[in-house]
Structure 1
Amino acid sequence: MGSNVWMGVRGAEQWIKAPAPRTPFQAVGWSETTQGRNGRTTGRRSRVTHMEYELSWPTVPTEIARKLTDMYYGVDGDGLIYWLDPMLKNVLPAHWSFPGLGCTDGPPIYGKIRPEAVATTANAKGLPHVSAKFTAISGYTPPRCYIPIPPGHAAHIGVHQGTAGATDSIVIAIPQSASGNTGTISRLPGIAPSSSTRFTTVIPRSGSMTGIDIRLAPGETIGGVTLPSTGTIAGIMVEVLPIGQSPVGQGFIRGGGNSGCQMFDPPTETPISAYRNRMSVSAKLTEVGP
């Protein structure tokens, strides 16, 4: 991705100059503390957070600044804004990469009630200690997590099971275009806790495809094959890389991405030089996706 980032409304992403370094990418959650008369402190906090990005471009051409303000005004559509942090080894948001968060106070990635918490089978790759067990619900429409894929790139996906011997995954990937579903749905194989494998499936961008939706599909029939009605997931990983490159590293990495953002305030623009057509611009993106 070099000096650019892939960013924009779903289906209309584009390359934009990378924001200035050292700008805050802040995970924000809820907390409350109480100071006791004995000098001690007690408190509670949410485990799950949402991401807030303070992005700034100290000097860019006016055309680049307009691309950002166009996202605020909905010139390319009124959908959520997505962007890929090129430093991430797992672009999923935390609660999608670690479904066990839905067993406590996180948003479940499937179902109307919290999934069953299951102790993850002992392993050497650092999977979360708690896995989430999901069971099929008739007539239920599950949430999706969209991952944009830039031209010339591919998504590497690994679904890590939480129990020994379980290799039949309930997770699927659906190719997306600007107008919705496109192409063939991928049934994602499960990876046993004892396996050192990190990724099993590579989905390159092709044709009209702009990215993929990840979702759970227990009990559904996909491509003539019926998925298990229950499944226990410890973690999911998605890394987006240029086609031909392979993920580097070992073990499980929790996601640090987002499920879609909004700008609640318009970007701030400061003219620098009309003669040189330069501006300074900053924007705050807040994660609001499922």
Structure 2
Amino acid sequence: MAKNVWIGVRGAEQWFKAPAPRAAFQPVGWSATTQGRNGRVTGRASRVTHMEYDLSWPTISASEGRKVNDWFYGVAGSGLIHWLDPMLENVLPAHWSMPGLGCTDGPVLYGLTRPTAVSTATNTKNLPATSAVYTLGAGVAPQCYIPIPPDYTAHIGVHGGTTSTGNSIVVARPMNGETAIGSSTVLPWISTSSTTRFTTTFPRTGAMTGLSIRIAPGETFGTVTTPNSGTIAGIMVEVLPDGQSPSGTGFIRGGGNSGCRMFEPATEVALHAVEGRERMSVAAKLIEVGP
């Protein structure tokens, strides 16, 4: 599947011809600058961004090309469009991989108030300098969905705390599209001082199409209860073919997305209209809108 990407509406992803190289995968955020009379510039910008993808297929069969607009029209459902960027070693969006961003201008990943910011303990893994302390309270707990192709496995590591023992406040659960299946797994802490990067694997099995993760302090899952409070420095998720292990030694910031939409239909340009040789050029813009 080296020349294909795993993409589609949540729960209905499939292998699809890879888009053309040199496409723009652009993080986009808010910014504003002011030009001073002294010639200097002042400004502010959000540290957190969303992803925008300009995907194009210069030549593709007509039947395959029209599948791109199927995502826009919701042929397979009205859910978000998910895809795995094959260049990523951490498929999480940046703000999920670095929960400390939620202490300033990033999305709040649990509850109704921003988490408390603390300095991450000195480490050799290049973890984010700011960790987030999430504590049991009222409010919402958004979930981040990670698609997993058949014969692939998700490897997860939750970095934080001060020891390598005990349960973290992050849980993972197998999903079939929008529907949770199976039991939630409370993920263990990986100490900031440990050289370990991943602790838990989730191979795709049965009706499973992907995995969701969320922050859940003070909740009980079967016989396991998460702590009422926890400090998260970073989270890593790498999706690899079965039997292949992650490589590397340090923390890698996420560069993926939490689900996209097409706000305009894809552009279709006919190239060949001869029966049996119908080809077209297709271009589509995907914008991240997930939590």
Which residue does the alignment assign to 2:162? 164
Which residue does the alignment assign to 2:51? 51
> What are the equivalent positions in structure 2 for 1:6-45 lying under 5 Å apart?
6-45=6-45
1:227-246 Cα offsets, whole Å, 9 max, x none, are: 10000000000000000000
Which letter maps to 2:280?
M
Give % identity. 66
CA displacement at 1:178 relative to structure 2: 3.1
Which letter maps to 2:163?
G
> What are the equivalent positions in structure 2 for 1:72-221 lying under 5 Å apart?
72-138=72-138, 140-161=139-160, 163-165=161-163, 167=165, 168-178=167-177, 180-221=179-220
Which letter maps to 1:20?
A
CA displacement at 1:274 relative to structure 2: 1.4
CA displacement at 1:184 relative to structure 2: 2.3
- Secondary structure at 1:188's aligned position in 2? strand
Which letter maps to 1:86?
P
Which letter maps to 2:162?
A
- Secondary structure at 1:101's aligned position in 2? helix
Are 1:279 and 2:280 an aligned pair? Answer: yes
CA displacement at 1:64 relative to structure 2: 1.1
Q: Give the Cα separation in 2 of the matches to 1:106 and 1:287.
A: 14
Q: Give the Cα separation in 2 of the matches to 1:46 and 1:274.
A: 47
CA displacement at 1:174 relative to structure 2: 0.8
Q: Give the Cα separation in 1 of the matches to 2:242 and 2:110.
A: 31
Deviating 4+ runs (over 4 angstroms):
none
- Secondary structure at 2:96's aligned position in 1? helix
CA displacement at 1:166 relative to structure 2: 5.8
- Secondary structure at 1:111's aligned position in 2? coil
1:59-80 Cα offsets, whole Å, 9 max, x none, are: 0111111111100000000111
- Secondary structure at 2:168's aligned position in 1? coil
Q: TM-score, normalised by structure 2?
A: 0.97
Q: Give the Cα separation in 2 of the matches to 1:181 and 1:278.
A: 39
CA displacement at 1:193 relative to structure 2: 0.5
CA displacement at 1:186 relative to structure 2: 1.4
Q: TM-score, normalised by structure 1?
A: 0.97
CA root-mean-square deviation: 1.0
Question: Do the aligned partners of residues 18 and 214 (structure 1) sit closer, same or farther apart at CA in structure 2, a change above 3 Å counting?
Answer: same
Q: Give the Cα separation in 1 of the matches to 2:90 and 2:191.
A: 19
